[in-house]
Amino acid sequence: MKLINESDYEKASERADEIYGAKKGTPEEKELKELLKALKEYEEDFIRMLKDNE
């Protein structure tokens, strides 16, 4: 999963909030892990872009 823009980021963040605390071994837990990974990558890319523009 790759977040491309702010809208994707917001949707993923909202969904992660909805399923936060999903029980281990459930499809929601797998989805939550994927969302959190994608959110982190998006944030890291955004920070890198800001630093490059300084």
DSSP string covering the chain: ----SHHHHHHHHHHHHHHTTPPTTSHHHHHHHHHHHHHHHHHHHHHHHHHHT-
pTM of the model: 0.87
| Range 4-24 average pLDDT | 97
Could you tell me the residue ranges of all domains in the chain? 6-52
| Cα separation, 40 vs 23, whole angstroms | 21
- Reduced to 3 states, what is the DSSP secondary structure of residue 4? coil
Mean residue pLDDT of the chain comes to 96
Residue 53 confidence (pLDDT) above 90: no
